[in-house]
Amino acid sequence: MEHRILGPGPYRATRLWNETVELFRAKMPLRKHRCRFKSYEHCFTAAEAVDWLHELLRCNQNFGPEVTRKQTIQLLKKFLKNHVIEDIKGKWGQEDFEDNRHLYRFPPSSPLKPYPKKLPYQKDVIKFPEWNEPPPGTSQENIPVRPVVMNSEMWYKRHSIAIGEVPACRLVHRRQLTEGNYVHLILRNFRDIKILGLDSLEEVLDIKLVNSKFIIHNVYSVSKQGVVILDDKSKELPHWVLSAMKCLANWPNSCDLKQPMYLGFEKDVFKTIADYYGHLKEPLLTFHLFDAFVSVLGLLQKEKVAVEAFQICCLLLPPENRRKLQLLMRMMARICLNKEMPPLCDGFGTRTLMVQTFSHCILCSKDEVDLDELLAARLVTFLMDNYQEILKVPLALQTSIEERVAHLRRVQIKYPGADMDITLSAPSFCRQISPEEFEYQRSYGSQEPLAALLEEVITDAKLSSKEKKKKLKQFQKSYPEVYQERFPTPESEALLFPEKPKPKPQLLMWALKKPFQPFQRTRSFRM
């Protein structure tokens, strides 16, 4: 029963649902069953489905061995409600699934979950205020400038250097940073966007719902222990819940409920905490961040990378949610490590009980066609093991943002004639291009300047024909494609250097005379 590991990326929960459905339909054993003196072909009992699917999920690295039989039954209830399976009489939707001998079968076709269709995101480039950019309603010409003139003695006293007179200057203030600037500053410093399988966070969450005030509060308004401090005390945990959590987290030395201890007291305290978190209107990781956290789950094999990615996503939470999550995870981890804690449930171990009780209030999806119970259990298990690292502020991110904000708020001394900020340039932005556009630019982007260089050599009147032919031959050897495009045929190349007519040979005077006659031996006069 193989199931490939799904890495990070958008719509990971939908992909997991569809692949689990397809694998269940393809691999689930079907056989003949009898019920009430009737035989049914190609079906299975509810207990057989639970056994087979439970083993599949436990062996699947996307979910892990922590999957329980109860979670498997919950998933099969979703399958029945969404017509992935039906009972032997064709009923589905309203029927309840139980772990028994009731017969079920697959319909002719099980519906897969469609991928959400999102409108193309319009990437508006956030423009940062420039040094020369005045506040709204003002202009640089109307700003009063007071000339500052200092002699060398005064300047030496202040700066220990003598540079003579200082020309007139003025102070230029940058515009106040907006929330959009803060959000962009933070998101552009997220180094793990690419490792999430994403080009940008817009693929897994709505950037419009990201509140920069939440991020700033989560970074700076924290206690010495790193727990968020809330300004609005009405959003705090109720006192009785906080006292109950402290009681179990520090058991048995810190029980300040001022009630007599009795057998099973710790179970009642735990039930009080579970009831409060179980009735939250929204999970602590919020609905709109569901896809972002599910995408991070694809990185659990790379623990360090996954921790950094979770740090980033947890900074996007509302401060009250982050605080509740911090206190809850600390309590859960301490209970699991406390060997003196009595069993809180007879049917489960302490760690399994923590995961099963609080996973739904930590991560949950609005859509019922999701594997949120299994994904939440996987995430909570990882959080319990790494909560101290995940729920602390990334120091590198904080330092980077502080340096950038300090630069944007800096006041510049403006001298006449200095129109550009040379030392601190404005931030540049990159736009992702498609592979087709990249190949086009790679193929043709460099050919245009080479073609222009070739034309410059051709039209250069200062070069002699000999030098021009030499340069063209070198160009043809180095860039044959560009040269071939300019001169596709030998005739087109020959037009550049037309042959000059050869002069006719001049008639020589001696050619008109009688040609030289060789000496002929005459008859000897000797007798």
Tokens of 16: 């997991």
Mean pLDDT of 23-42: 86
Identify which of 81, 120, 87, 82 has the alpha carbon closest to the alpha carbon of residue 106: 87
Distance CA 115, CA 429 (A): 30
Beta-bridged to residue 34, according to DSSP, are 39
Q: Quote the percentage of the chain above a pLDDT of 90.
A: 16
Mean pLDDT of 500-510: 59
pLDDT digits (tens, 9 = 90+) for 202-226: 666 666 777 878 888 888 889 988 8
pLDDT band of residue 317 (cuts 50, 70, 90) is very high
Tokens of 522: 């005459």
Q: Which of 174-183, 453-462, 481-490 has the lowest mean pLDDT?
A: 174-183
Burial class from Cβ neighbours inside 10 Å (0-12, 13-18, 19+) for residue 364 reads buried
pLDDT band of residue 3 (cuts 50, 70, 90) is low
Q: Is the pTM of this model over 0.75?
A: no
286 Cβ contact partners less than 8 Å away, ≥ 6 residues apart:
317, 318, 321
Distance CA 372, CA 200 (A): 23
Mean pLDDT of 187-206: 56
Domain residues of the chain, as ranges?
Answer: 12-105, 180-400
Distance CA 426, CA 408 (A): 9
Distance CA 380, CA 252 (A): 25
Q: What CATH number was assigned to the domain covering residues 12-105?
A: 1.10.10.10
Distance CA 334, CA 289 (A): 27
Q: Which of 138-152, 275-289, 358-372, 451-465 has the lowest mean pLDDT?
A: 138-152
Length of the chain: 527
Contact 390, 314 (CB under 8 A): yes
pLDDT band of residue 424 (cuts 50, 70, 90) is very low
Tokens of 172: 């230029």
The pLDDT assigned to 51 comes to: 93
Identify which of 205, 220, 215 has the alpha carbon closest to the alpha carbon of residue 183: 215
* Angle, CA 256 vertex, CA 253 and CA 259 arms, to 5°: 110
Contact 62, 6 (CB under 8 A): yes
- First-to-last C-alpha distance (Å) of the chain: 133
Q: How many CB atoms lie within 10 A of CB 354?
A: 24
Tokens of 518: 């060789």
Residue 68 phi/psi, 5-degree rounding, is -100, 165
* Long-range pairs for 23-29: beta carbons < 8 A, 24 or more residues apart: 23/56, 24/53, 24/56, 24/79, 24/84, 25/84, 25/106, 25/110, 27/1, 27/52, 27/56, 28/52, 28/53, 28/106
Q: Residue 34: enclosing H or E segment and its boundaries?
A: strand 31-35
**pLDDT exceeds cutoff 50 at 253:** yes
Distance CA 116, CA 99 (A): 33
pLDDT band of residue 444 (cuts 50, 70, 90) is low
Distance CA 5, CA 305 (A): 17
CATH for 180-400, options being 2.40.50.200, 1.25.40.80, 3.30.70.260, 1.10.555.10: 1.10.555.10
The pLDDT assigned to 371 comes to: 78
Identify which of 68, 67, 55 has the alpha carbon closest to the alpha carbon of residue 23: 55
Tokens of 197: 């399988």
What SS3 string covers 208-254?
A: HHCCHHHHHHHHHCECCCCCECCCCHHHCCCHHHHHHHHHHHCCCCC
Q: What is the dihedral of CA 60, 66, 72, 78, to 10 degrees?
A: -80
Strand ranges for 293-448 from DSSP E: 412-414
The pLDDT assigned to 203 comes to: 60
pLDDT band of residue 170 (cuts 50, 70, 90) is low
